[in-house]
Amino acid sequence: MNGFYIITGGPGVGKTTLLDTLAAEGYEVIPEVARNIINEQEERGGSGVPWKDNDLYTKLMLHRSIEDYLTAKAKQHTKPVFFDRGIPDSLCHWVMGGNQITEEMEDAAQKYKYENIVFILPPWKEIYRTDEARKQIWKKQNIHITKWWIFIKAMATN
């Protein structure tokens, strides 16, 4: 395969901290697109944030995830590449918002593949914090985590 690995899990479970450690060890890491999109949308007064227009936000996540995937693919890698979430996460977010997978999303899931091993970090209440970009309360984010795990594993490895 391509050496692309997804590190996923609910909000605030330590994904970014783990990826920072991997980067310090010399691995290439691809940062989470969600937080960057939220920051960009907030700066320009856009509506592509989950608490204003979740569908637009999810579409932005998918397109940015594809861009990041293609950028990583264009480089020559001698070590594994770790993604702070990936394309399957965007699809999961879309479905958890009550939507049906579109043909574009299905195509992306089939075209842009990751390794069959997915690193799923479990909920960890003791380290969970909210901030300007992460507004979910612990109880709400924890309710969806099992669905997230099942969906991401299925999408990433099919």
CATH number of the domain at 15, please.
3.40.50.300
Q: Provide the whole-model pTM.
A: 0.81
| Predicted confidence (pLDDT) at residue 146 exceeds the cutoff of 60 | no
Q: What is the pLDDT of residue 129?
A: 61
Its domain, for residue 90, covers: 4-157
Number of domains present in the structure of the chain = 1
Q: In this model, does residue 64 exceed pLDDT 80?
A: yes
**Please, is 68 exposed, middle or buried when counting C-beta atoms within 10 Å of its C-beta (0-12, 13-18, 19+)?**
buried
Reply yes or no on whether the pLDDT at 15 is more than 90: no
pLDDT digits (tens, 9 = 90+) for 74-133: 998 899 999 999 998 898 888 888 889 899 999 998 999 999 888 888 776 666 666 555
Q: What is the pLDDT of residue 111?
A: 95
pLDDT for position 147: 60
Q: Is 29 helix (H, G, I), strand (E, B) or coil?
A: strand
C-alpha to C-alpha distance for 156 and 29, rounded to whole angstroms: 18
